[in-house]
């Protein structure tokens, strides 16, 4: 991604380049967010839910999330399952093989915190965030595929804040000042009538 980074940095410094940068960011984030290819790092029972998510009932292809067997094809690593101390170097190595930009979803309690293996265990890593930068956590033992779907959509929202210029980010749509919800005003008016 060196070329894109250089382009982003150059546009950021050029007077008036911000207009082009913003438009370019919008296109890049739209395309990145809609093709989050998954690295299915399934090591335990959560992998069953991860596999179910790819098949016809949940069909994550419609989100553009296709599981790929090769880390070099992938954008997001879904760590689904218990990571032992012996497995951690292999996970880190696969993560390092993924091209930038890359994201991590910690799926299930084991990947979040160690889960039921938190106490009295000699071999389990307490959360994959001990050695990977996790973007989205999903609780559950195991979580339903709907939770994974929610995580993909949240990650897409997060991806839409990224800028190709180093060190810059775009505001989340939900963080932008809003003009207020008309529904809330209606409810207040109704409450006043009842009172």
Partner 1 sequence: MNINELREHLCSQYPDLCPLFSVEFGDGVLVIDADRLHEAATDLRDLGFDRLGMVTAVDTRDEFELVYRLQSRQMHAGIFVKARVPRDEPTIASVTDLWPAANWQEREVFDMFGIVFTGHPDLRRILLTDDWVGYPLRKDYQDERIIRRPDYI
Residues in the chain: 195
> Is the C-alpha dihedral spanning 62, 136, 73, 100 positive or negative?
positive
Pair of tokens at residue 180: 């207020």
Q: Are strands 76-80 and 38-42 parallel, antiparallel or unpaired?
A: parallel
> Which string of x and - marks every residue 62-91 that binds partner 1 (by CB under 8 A)?
-----------------------xx-----
Going by C-alpha positions, the residue among 56, 74, 43, 53 that lies closest to residue 148 is: 53
- Counting contacts by CB under 8 A, is residue 121 touching partner 1? yes
Q: Which is nearer to partner 1, 27 or 116 (CB)?
A: 116
The upper half-sphere exposure of residue 125, i.e. CA atoms within 13 Å in the direction of its Cβ, equals 22
- Counting contacts by CB under 8 A, is residue 122 touching partner 1? yes
Binding to partner 1 (CB under 8 A) within 86-115 occurs at 86
In whole angstroms, the minimum distance from the beta carbon of 189 to partner 1 comes to 49
> Which string of x and - marks every residue 28-67 that binds partner 1 (by CB under 8 A)?
----------------------------------------
Contact 96, 57 (CB under 8 A): no
Among the candidate windows 5-13, 67-75, 119-127, 151-159, which touches partner 1 by CB under 8 A? 119-127
Residues that bind partner 1 (CB under 8 A): 85-86, 118-123, 126
């Amino acid at each position: 991604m060196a070329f894109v980074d250089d382009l982003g940095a150059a546009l950021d410094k050029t007077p008036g380049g911000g207009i082009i940068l913003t438009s370019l960011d919008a296109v890049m984030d739209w395309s990145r967010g809609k093709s989050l290819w998954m690295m299915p790092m399934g090591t335990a029972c959560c992998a069953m839910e991860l596999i179910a998510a790819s098949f016809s009932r949940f069909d994550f292809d419609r989100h553009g999330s296709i599981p790929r067997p090769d880390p070099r094809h992938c954008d997001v690593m879904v760590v689904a399952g218990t990571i032992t101390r012996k497995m951690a170097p292999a996970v880190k190595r696969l993560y390092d093989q993924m091209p930038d930009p890359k994201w991590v979803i910690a799926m299930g309690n084991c990947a979040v915190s160690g889960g039921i293996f938190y106490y009295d265990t000699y071999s389990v890593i307490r959360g994959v965030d001990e050695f990977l930068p996790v973007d989205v956590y999903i609780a559950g033992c195991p979580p339903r595929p709907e939770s994974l779907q929610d995580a993909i959509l949240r990650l897409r929202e997060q991806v839409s804040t990224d800028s190709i210029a180093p060190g810059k980010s775009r505001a989340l749509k939900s963080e932008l000042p809003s003009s207020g919800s008309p529904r809330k005003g209606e409810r207040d008016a109704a409450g006043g009538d009842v009172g």
